[in-house]
Chains A and B, each alone.
Chain A
Amino acid sequence: MSISMSISDLPPHITIDILSRLPIKTIVQCKCVCKIWRNLLQEPYFVNLRLSRSPTTLIIHQFGHSLPPSDSDILKLVELEDDHDRHSLQYDPSTKFDLRFCYPNGHILLVGSVNGLICFCDFENEALFVCNPAVRQCVSLAEPKHKTRSPSVLVYGFGFSPVSSQYKVVQIFQKAIGPFSYECQESPESICSFDVEKELFQAFPCLSRGTLYKSFGLLGGCLCVCDNSSDSEFVVWTMKEYGIKESWTKELVIRNNSHLDRLSYAIVTPIKVWQNGDVLMLWRGDVLFSYSPERKTLEEVHVPRDTVPMLSLLLLITRCCPMWQVLSRSRISGQRESTPSKPQNHKEFQL
């Protein structure tokens, strides 16, 4: 004889554990099961657990003037499934999300993504908003205190501070005072870091001089710099110990071959190291390819698509999670840092 328990008899942490293993669509439906579940799904414990379980996801922003309006400004989520022996890209068309729901004007660009939240900007009007495609919610951020007049360099960053659990949008601009001068290139350190918690810029130990065709990324959890400024090879350096200059290590060298010809002199960003050691990389913001260090082969990876051909896409990487609570203004501080006096600070997001 067994006592008959129902799922409602489970301690909350087990129910949360079970719910955190569900696909996003099912989680959203589970909000309708009962009020207790709805409340559990809003617990920070649930959000953190779900984020830790969520597969790495590519966000595809489909846009383009030649697309019919109904197909432009669409977000698509592609999950990267990674098993020991095989890896694949999974696209569920029901995750398609029309961005004009957030911002009817269109003409927006991705700023960044963290914890499944995505920040967008209409650069022309300096309008910013943050959306969570997993639950299709969106907030627009307050107007910046300093409207910048073009021409000026204008860059946004979107970050999260785990210390205070705050999301911050950082605006960096260069005032156009006379002709542009990039004094920062004279500085030995051409990387600046920005501490999202303390809101401080700092020079960061960089790899070497030269800033063209280089880009930042994360490779196996380490900060990396991809150097695509040579005819003969493409090199990825990783900083094994964060902040330690001596720990920059040549991680990958992809020698010239017929594929690389096509890849030379463009921004390349590593996206993920698969469990079998292959590295998924994004070339120029719209083509994916996979490099096998073991076989030394480079292959293009095709993004699963629905019937609409994707003419323009931009990919970002994130983990997705339904967070109903986070998208309230109080949790996203519309922090917009204007440039402090030194123009070096522009260098945070570009090498």
Chain B
Amino acid sequence: MASAPENEKNASAPEKKTLTLKSMINNEEFVVDEHVALQSVTIKNMVDSDCAGDVIPVPTISGEILALVIEYCKNHANPSASEDDLKKADAGIVAKDIYTLIDLVLAANFLDIKGLLEVTSQKIADSIKDLPHQDVREIFGVENDYTPEEEAAVRAEHDWAFEGFP
């Protein structure tokens, strides 16, 4: 799988351009092929308007998350990857704990990478599904701003949805 795209690249773009992305959280740097990085609309806009220097600083995204983002972009920039391959690769990328997923969805939003936003949001939704709302609060660190009376009233409105739930 690795050799085919390599040949294609050599044929169409003999001089491979690269960009350096730098996490401003932990100063980690990643050298990435330009066509890989351009899947981010945010980066593409910067490059198109000549705002991108040699090193593109990426605020609020850690190196760990940036590595995942780049992995996603590399997979999707590979023209010989089949739909099935991509599905499997995406599933691997989002097989993470909830905190990583939230960081990842924020990164996908900031960098404007539609596909990554889609798979990460779906994965987060899948992990909320079937959870009692108290667990949703706890796991996701959501503060309950209802008074007990208010919460009981909202719940009473939709009794049927809570059948079999605490």
Question: How many angstroms between the C-alpha atoms of A135 and B161 in the bound complex?
Answer: 9
CB contact list, A1-23 vs B, under 8 A = 1-11, 14, 17-19, 21-23
Is B43 close to A, CB under 8 A? no
Question: How many angstroms between the C-alpha atoms of A30 and B136 in the bound complex?
Answer: 8
B102 to chain A, nearest CB (A): 5
B9 to chain A, nearest CB (A): 31
Contact with A along B143-166 (1 / 0, CB 8 A): 111100001001100101111010
Is B122 close to A, CB under 8 A? yes
| Known pairs A14-B121, A21-B122, A21-B125; A36 contacts B141 (CB<8 A) | no
Residues of chain A lying within 8 A (CB to CB) of residue B129: 22-23, 26
Contact present for B154 and A5 (CB under 8 Å): no
Is A38 close to B, CB under 8 A? yes
- The interface size of chain B toward A, counting residues with CB under 8 Å, comes to 44
Q: Contacting A7 at CB < 8 Å: which of B62, B102, B130, B144?
A: B102
Question: How many angstroms between the C-alpha atoms of A70 and B155 in the bound complex?
Answer: 25
Contact present for B124 and A18 (CB under 8 Å): yes
Question: How many angstroms between the C-alpha atoms of A17 and B65 in the bound complex?
Answer: 21
Residues of chain B lying within 8 A (CB to CB) of residue A21: 121-122, 125-126
Contact present for A32 and B155 (CB under 8 Å): yes
Contact present for B155 and A8 (CB under 8 Å): no
A27 to chain B, nearest CB (A): 9
B120 to chain A, nearest CB (A): 9
Residues of chain A lying within 8 A (CB to CB) of residue B60: 3
- The interface size of chain A toward B, counting residues with CB under 8 Å, comes to 34
Is B75 close to A, CB under 8 A? no
Q: Contacting B128 at CB < 8 Å: which of A6, A26, A38?
A: A26
A341 to chain B, nearest CB (A): 46
Which residues of B line the A interface, CB within 8 A? 25-26, 60, 62, 64-65, 98-100, 102-103, 105-106, 109, 117, 121-122, 124-126, 128-133, 136-137, 140-146, 151, 154-155, 158, 160-163, 165
User: Beyond the given A4-B99, A33-B142, could you list 19 further A-B residue pairs with CB under 8 A, ordered by the A residue number?
Assistant: A1-B25, A2-B25, A2-B62, A2-B99, A3-B60, A5-B99, A5-B106, A6-B102, A7-B102, A17-B117, A18-B128, A21-B126, A26-B129, A26-B131, A29-B161, A31-B154, A31-B158, A34-B146, A94-B163
Could you list some 18 contacts between A and B, CB below 8 A?
A: A1-B62, A2-B62, A6-B102, A6-B141, A9-B106, A10-B102, A14-B109, A26-B128, A26-B131, A28-B158, A29-B136, A29-B165, A31-B158, A32-B151, A33-B133, A34-B143, A34-B145, A35-B145
